[in-house]
Amino acid sequence: MNVFVILGVLFIALLVIVPLVEKSGLRVSNETAGKMSRIIFPLIIIALVIQLFMYMF
């Protein structure tokens, strides 16, 4: 039952957040997206390594 509550809240949040973001007109340039991708991928790798160590110990 808790799964349905969580899914319901996420769905309602999606219905509210998506129109708000579209109305705000927030645009990301290709240069900014490239900078963000250079930061995000190493952070994901670090998070995966930390999770591996936490799982092992």
Separation in Å, CA 6 to CA 1, 16, 18, 27: 9, 15, 18, 30
pLDDT of residue 15: 94
Question: pTM to 2 decimals?
Answer: 0.49
DSSP 3-state of 8: helix
Long-range contacts of 36-39 (CB under 8 A, 24+ apart): none
Tokens coding 38: 């250079």
pLDDT tens by residue, 3-55:
999 999 999 999 999 888 888 877 878 888 888 888 999 999 999 999 999 99
Q: Please identify which residue in the block is written with the tokens 């509550």.
A: 5
